[in-house]
Structure 1
Amino acid sequence: MSRLALATLDGNWEHDHTVPSRTLYPHQWSWDSAFIAIGLAHVRPDRAWRELRTLFAAQWADGRVPHIVFNPRLRVGAYFPGPEFWDSAAADGAPAGATSGIVQPPVHALAAWLVHRRGPSAASRAALGELYPRLVAQQRYLARRRDVGGGGLACVVHPWESGLDNSPAWDAPMAAVPAEAGVMRAYRRHDTAHADAAHRPTDLDYARYLTMVQSYRAGRYRDDDLADRHPFLVECPLFNAARGAAEHALADIAAVVGADPGPHRERAARITAALVERLFDPVSGTFRPRDVRTGRLVPARTVLGLTPLMLPDLPAPQVAAVLAEACSARFGLAGRMDRPLPSHDRTAADFEPLRYWRGPSWMNINWLVWRGLRAHGRPELAAGLRRSMIDLVARAGCHEYFHPDTGAGLGSPAFGWTAALLLDTLADG
């Protein structure tokens, strides 16, 4: 399987970065590159650092790291929504190259630290020193520009920023987003040309996605007045857990590059406390996104609620509650797992095992939870989850996502982060 994973990553290498897949995703994606760098550290460490450098070369002046960096070598229309739709050049502080205007979960500091730890050297210390101020700027942007709710958590302004694009977690806040009449008639979706439409977001949801981009773009991607004009503002458990984990990683990086790790540890503690205060639901015993516009926690019980396990300082009561949720029939975590974690509650009426993020299993989310189980001293559960992740690829190959019951491969084949995280999972049994 290691050979398959390496061949996948080599096949997706594009001169200075790795594309998620050669079919549906022909550009560089932000959190994909972070996960891919973690895997490349085992086999192509020079490429791992180049992956991160290329991504951060497209960082905006305000510190945001765009979720897509467009490859100028590709023809116009090779992907939708492409650079002409985002029109990032019209925004203040955008880089010279074309990018999107939104972000993704900030898992990059964790990736940089893991790449260095895999092969510490003078070169990796120099790479950390180069990336450190950019990683700090990324965190500063999220803390200062995106805390719309005022409680110490960053808002996502689009479901795409969460990484779990089509999760049922976004149904309630998205219902308030107007789907502009005829918006889809002006464009041609590329995702349904490469995957079964029954497995992808509906046209109604996609129209709302475009409406949200148009709203943010109309303000030239400013964040100073989001509460007044933007229709979608949600505090996401995964996104903010990633922020906290990033501060822990930055504390480790700071110690290597000669900076003070103390402020990072303090910020990590504040983020964890805010996550527990604002997003933990003691009634259900899980973390839920908060719709900042209504002030309410969203009702859906999704795998997002398990991801705060990645925080090493998550308090013991919340760890116990999240583990109980993970081991319930909704998600099925066990010491000997015959099925991987689904992305949505298996017992829910709207569970869809084939549709993007509404049921299928994803390697990156399983990997994050696996790391959290190890950090919180549950090796038997971690071993069961690891086994299920390896079995997925052994049976179906490096697919984008998988049927959560049969393990059948879904979405794009030869998918980058599946290959990369398989390498990391195999290396750290």
Structure 2
Amino acid sequence: MQAHSVEEPGSKLKHQMLPKRHTDVLQARPTWANLRPHMSGLIQPTFAAYTLLRLFEACNDRVYLGEMYVRVKRYHDWLAQNRDFDGDGLLTIISPFESGMDWKPSYDLVLGYTERMTPDKLYWNKLFWKGVDVDLCNFLAGYDLKKIRQRARFLVKDVAFNVIYAQDLAAMQTLAQIVGDGDASAYKRRRQQVQQSVMDMMYDEVDAAFYDLHEPGSRRLRTRTPTIFFPLALDSVSDACANAVLQRHFSGYAEFDIPYPLPSVAPDDSSFHPGESPFIWRGPTWAFPNWFLYHAFKRHGFDTQAQYLKNALAAAIKQSGFREYYNPYRGEGYGANDFTWSGLLIDMD
């Protein structure tokens, strides 16, 4: 499945899906037209404003900017009105598949998957059906967000999702100023609230890590994935905090310091599976975290660590080509061939 935005009344942006499994129909609203769905009821991490700003900086096309800004603004307003369930600025995802990191091990507890091990087969295991159960519950609720929130089958405030959201709000603030929209200050306030909530609610000082939150109750999901580093992209995170996170989890012989970082979960976690599996994001290295954290590390002056991530991705691509993900020990490529986002390497300068 690929997802770009969201199909919601009034949002005017759509979340495109390319179904691979029969159960993917449960990710769309229950209508006759959606028996063969093209659009789902899910969202994904929003890079819409960031992308529009980068495009404008490259081509300076104000006509295109004006056309697209209205749509992106409407989408951001929809997110703030409909996915900030608790008024803390943080967006809540209602399915593992909204995070972009589908089978992220930190969700195991939320799903009720206590075994934690990563299965080899897609259908014949509890993990798959626990995920399907979430989609089924949302489907039976008609993707009505009020009902979904009340049933609380899967409510997570994901670290990466919200850090990306904060960065997109910063882009929205800049775009609003460029087009002369008076809402620039509103996007600034939203971003500041998100950043404060990330620090106050997600950061564990003892563990020196940022954790996803399970709602209701804002319970920290203490599984170490690369998203424990993602808030280092925020200007609200101090250098001292950033240094504490890196020293604990990345430098020297820490759990993420392996030949082809960053593995999608710490190697000493029971869910870790470094090879190819239908349950992705449970061990192998992906290009996106390396790209994102390259820039986050550079922001705090950790140039050596940033270059390490760039070199690791370059080495994996040189060995195995542009693949979907890589073995974190050997650099062996898995999943799709000629996978576009491994090309993020060219944006790591």
Q: Can you list the C-alpha shifts for 1:273-312, whole angstroms capped at 9, x where unaligned?
A: 0111111111101100111135321121111211112223
Q: Which residue of 2 aligns with 1:121?
A: 60
2:232 corresponds, among 300, 309, 318, to 309
- Please say if 1:68 is aligned against 2:16: yes
- Please say if 1:160 is aligned against 2:118: no
Q: Which residue of 2 aligns with 1:397?
A: 321
Pairs within 5 Å for 1:201-280 = 203-260=125-182, 261-280=184-203
2:51 corresponds, among 73, 93, 111, to 111
Are the aligned partners of 2:85 and 2:91 in contact in 1 as well (CA < 8 Å)?
yes
Which of 198-207 and 366-375 deviates more? 198-207
Q: Can you list the C-alpha shifts for 1:320-370, whole angstroms capped at 9, x where unaligned?
A: 2332233361111xxxx8422111112334322124211110001111111
Letter in 2 for 1:135: V
- Please say if 1:132 is aligned against 2:69: yes
Q: Which residue of 1 aligns with 2:205?
A: 282
Deviation at 1:398, TM superposition (A): 0.8
Distance 1:370 1:201 in 2: 36
Local SS of the residue matching 1:225 = helix
Sort the Cα spacing of 1:352 and 1:322 in 2 relative to 1 into closer, same or farther, 3 A. same
Are the aligned partners of 2:259 and 2:330 in contact in 1 as well (CA < 8 Å)?
no
Distance 1:234 1:87 in 2: 20
Distance 1:303 1:231 in 2: 25
Q: Which residue of 2 aligns with 1:181?
A: none
Distance 1:65 1:286 in 2: 34
2:221 corresponds, among 279, 293, 298, to 298
Q: Which residue of 1 aligns with 2:267?
A: 346
Are the aligned partners of 1:306 and 1:326 in contact in 2 as well (CA < 8 Å)?
no
Local SS of the residue matching 1:220 = coil
Length-normalised TM-score, structure 1: 0.71
Are the aligned partners of 1:212 and 1:230 in contact in 2 as well (CA < 8 Å)?
no
Distance 2:124 2:298 in 1: 37
Distance 2:24 2:305 in 1: 43
Distance 1:413 1:200 in 2: 20
2:330 corresponds, among 406, 414, 421, to 406
- Please say if 1:80 is aligned against 2:21: yes
Distance 1:202 1:106 in 2: 33
Letter in 2 for 1:130: E
Deviation at 1:378, TM superposition (A): 2.0
Deviation at 1:85, TM superposition (A): 4.1
Distance 1:208 1:65 in 2: 29
Distance 2:60 2:308 in 1: 33
Are the aligned partners of 2:30 and 2:142 in contact in 1 as well (CA < 8 Å)?
no
Q: Which residue of 1 aligns with 2:3?
A: 29
Sort the Cα spacing of 1:274 and 1:131 in 2 relative to 1 into closer, same or farther, 3 A. same
Distance 1:99 1:82 in 2: 14
Give the total of aligned pairs. 337
Distance 2:245 2:162 in 1: 16
- Please say if 1:363 is aligned against 2:287: yes
Deviation at 1:113, TM superposition (A): 1.7
Q: Which residue of 2 aligns with 1:329?
A: 254
Which of 320-329 and 373-382 deviates more? 320-329
Distance 1:199 1:402 in 2: 19
Local SS of the residue matching 2:59 = coil
How big is the alpha-carbon RMSD for the aligned residues of Structure 1 and Structure 2? 2.8
Distance 2:314 2:134 in 1: 37
Pairs within 5 Å for 1:178-197 = none
Sort the Cα spacing of 1:248 and 1:87 in 2 relative to 1 into closer, same or farther, 3 A. closer
Sort the Cα spacing of 1:387 and 1:352 in 2 relative to 1 into closer, same or farther, 3 A. same
Local SS of the residue matching 1:156 = coil
Which structure 1 residue ranges, 5 or more long, are not aligned?
1-24, 31-55, 71-77, 178-196
Are the aligned partners of 2:7 and 2:41 in contact in 1 as well (CA < 8 Å)?
no
Deviation at 1:173, TM superposition (A): 0.8
Deviation at 1:395, TM superposition (A): 0.9
Sort the Cα spacing of 1:276 and 1:131 in 2 relative to 1 into closer, same or farther, 3 A. same
Q: Which residue of 2 aligns with 1:182?
A: none
Are the aligned partners of 1:66 and 1:104 in contact in 2 as well (CA < 8 Å)?
no
Q: Can you list the C-alpha shifts for 1:184-242, whole angstroms capped at 9, x where unaligned?
A: xxxxxxxxxxxxx7286863222122211121122221212333223110111001101
Are the aligned partners of 1:66 and 1:102 in contact in 2 as well (CA < 8 Å)?
no
Are the aligned partners of 1:83 and 1:99 in contact in 2 as well (CA < 8 Å)?
no
Are the aligned partners of 2:310 and 2:345 in contact in 1 as well (CA < 8 Å)?
no
Are the aligned partners of 2:113 and 2:126 in contact in 1 as well (CA < 8 Å)?
no
Letter in 1 for 2:181: A
Sort the Cα spacing of 1:99 and 1:408 in 2 relative to 1 into closer, same or farther, 3 A. same
